[in-house]
Amino acid sequence: MSFDIKKMTKRELNVGLKDQKIRYGVGAGLALLSVFLANIPLLILGGALLASARFRWCPAYSGLGKSTVDPSEEQVSSTSGAGDH
C-alpha cells in the first residue's frame, strides 16, 4: 500500500457512519481532556478528528486509497443534500 500525495488533496467521501461516530467520540474526549490537562497537542488532535468526522473526509484515507463507507451509505448521503448535519 503506497501513499499518494496527489490523491490526498482530492476531497471525497471516505469516512463511514460507524467510523464517523468513533471519530466524534474520541475527538470530543480528547478535546475535553486537553482542557483539563492544558495540553495543546491533544486539542489539535481532537479538533482534527472532529473535523474529519463532520466532513466525513480523511486526507490520510484519501492518500492511502482507503474508505470505510458502505455503498448503501454513499447513496443515502448523496441523496440527502446539503441539509445533512
pLDDT at 62: 86
In a domain, 53, yes or no: yes
In one-letter notation, the amino acid at residue 26 is: V
Quote the radius of gyration of the chain (alpha carbons, Å): 14
Domain count, the chain: 1
pLDDT at 72: 81
In a domain, 24, yes or no: yes
Read off the pLDDT band of 11 (50, 70, 90): confident
The answer to whether the predicted template modeling score (pTM) of the entire model surpasses 0.75 is yes
In a domain, 33, yes or no: yes
Domain that holds residue 39: 15-59
For 48-71, letters b (16+ CB in 10 Å) and e give ebbebbeebbbbebbbbeebbbee
Residues 30-80 pLDDT 10s? 999 999 999 999 999 999 999 999 999 988 888 888 889 888 876 555 545
In a domain, 82, yes or no: no
In a domain, 5, yes or no: no
Whole-angstrom distance, CA of residue 58 vs CA of residue 15: 7
Residue with the bigger pLDDT between 1 and 10: it is 10
Whole-angstrom distance, CA of residue 55 vs CA of residue 15: 9
In a domain, 70, yes or no: no
Whole-angstrom distance, CA of residue 64 vs CA of residue 58: 10
Whole-angstrom distance, CA of residue 80 vs CA of residue 29: 29
In a domain, 73, yes or no: no
In a domain, 72, yes or no: no
